[in-house]
Structure 1
């Protein structure tokens, strides 16, 4: 009996030893903003950790210490497999993305979470079928917090104060808004902001509340004008190389899908809202003069930028989309999300 027991134990150990190790796939992730920026730490890295946990370690992410390409090249880098996972601003490549401009228009709301979740819902319902992100697996679309105005010399109180100012912008609708408001837009990635302001190439910058401290601009910015509802917003896409996604086992693809879409949009929006609040506190601590845009500014600005949205409505008619109806639905969806629905 003892001999049989020993034999059975040995057989069990042999079976366990011979069992193949659980397959593990390592994906390369990249961010073009600093490691401690909320886009990296609280959105990209936070999401990769969720995926690693959901797949019980079958998927791992190698977050590169430095982006291998410039920010405007990120979409193609993911599409071509230079990197597996990253995010980009659609406005960094003018003319390539048209429908995503819907979330870049101004006065949409004061919460990145509400705007991002509503945007993701609209993307799934109206935009995805037009395949503007062809060649990549879209994890989610999202927006940063409401965009405000900052200057290094004089405060921006009226629309007239923007006349002939050189403003660094990220591209997309805000580029057209800047022109409509009488300023000169300088289209450059956010990562170049410090150099542009320090050298005097730019007189000011349009950014969400987070970014002044996030890009270490507190020593340069003297005045901040916060715009209720946001002067503008910026559209982002979180994406994955399509071939890498398609090659994953079904269980791992299902785990990614569950953590994509509205889940990711809400994660990103919440992270940005928290970062915006902390950023405004940092500006106060740095002694930056902060004011809220008055009703006269808001009414004048809305009047001047309205033709930009109308031009977009006309542009997308060719795609069979009623832009006015879509924007009405989008604004209603933002209010719905803000109300907890």
Structure 2
């Protein structure tokens, strides 16, 4: 017996349009019926800082808009909920707060694989470095962030040295100077230069400079206005244009994992749509690369001198810090990872995304 099969006709365009409208209506209804969620967002810089105004607040505004105000942020800058900057990661991991913007490596020794991006002379742009960092953690270091749902990660525009009074131009003139470092890797770089590293979070730098606890501070241009660094330092030592700067720091914007999992699907989707490598690239470019020239110009307009070391001097600094990479490889290998492989992978990713 022969059965004739009649091909099904394609659905009219108006039917497809009605289906799309119905789907959108259902999603809107789901958002409207969901219980509104307020996320407590904690970070260590003032509300006037570039990170707050260019990254954290815009991200929060976007998720509120896309969720039709069913997902909102209550932002607490300047450690208003208590604790210290090195405690922020544990605050979000333990559910004390819902979301943090922080430097994980303020807690020394816990993010050894990820701190490869804090080694000297690693990154040229915050955008490319941030894309490389996100991809690297995805592939090699997710285990270091258990309990925290990564939303985006980034690096800054690269640290340069800001001096209170002294005006060194050479590696030799750095010997014995007390220099603020952000993290353990930054401190090792300062020590390799012959200076004395004093590790501290960014908010502590102004007092340390004013009381001569340090002679200089390693800080990116982005951090200068946040702590009014230009009022305390009038001499800034930078690298040749386009060259990787002295050091960098990794940042995390992350949510408590249990809090993320507790969200209804439609609100999870809002978070997911504003997470990942593309958002990390946005954070690096908008929050850091885009502010370098304006903040540098503001310092010069305020009477500061920015000295750019010549290429030959730059190479001396690079050579002096070779041991820092070797030390990191040894440390991460002692924890069971292949340090040489990870270092090569990080450098390859930076090169890939910095083209």
The residue number in structure 2 matching 1:84 is 98
CA distance in 1, matches of 2:116, 2:273: 25
The residue number in structure 1 matching 2:159 is 147
Task: Indicate conservation of the 8 Å contact 2:43/2:88, yes or no.
Answer: no
Q: How does 1:1-341 map to 2 (within 5 A)?
A: 21-64=33-76, 66-67=78-79, 68=81, 69-128=83-142, 131-227=143-239, 228-270=243-285, 271-339=287-355
For residues 135-163 of structure 1, give each alpha carbon's deviation from its aligned partner in whole angstroms, at most 9, with x where no partner exists: 22122221111111111112221111111
For residues 232-251 of structure 1, give each alpha carbon's deviation from its aligned partner in whole angstroms, at most 9, with x where no partner exists: 00011111111111100122
Offset, 1:322:
3.0
In structure 2, relative to structure 1, the CA distance for the partners of 1:102 and 1:66 (3 Å cut) is closer
CA distance in 2, matches of 1:118, 1:255: 24
Regions of 4+ moved over 4 Å: none
For residues 243-267 of structure 1, give each alpha carbon's deviation from its aligned partner in whole angstroms, at most 9, with x where no partner exists: 1111001221122122112122112
Deviates more, 1:319-328 or 1:259-268: 319-328
CA distance in 2, matches of 1:63, 1:103: 28
SS in structure 1 of the partner of residue 122 of structure 2: coil
Deviates more, 1:256-265 or 1:191-200: 256-265
Deviates more, 1:50-59 or 1:177-186: 50-59
Structure 1: tracts of 5 or more residues without a match = 1-19
Task: Indicate conservation of the 8 Å contact 1:210/1:277, yes or no.
Answer: no
CA distance in 1, matches of 2:77, 2:234: 32
CA distance in 1, matches of 2:343, 2:309: 24
In structure 2, relative to structure 1, the CA distance for the partners of 1:25 and 1:214 (3 Å cut) is same
CA distance in 2, matches of 1:314, 1:296: 29
Offset, 1:102:
1.0
CA distance in 2, matches of 1:214, 1:281: 16
TM-score by length of 2: 0.85
Structure 2: tracts of 5 or more residues without a match = 1-31
Aligned residue pairs, count: 318
SS in structure 2 of the partner of residue 60 of structure 1: strand
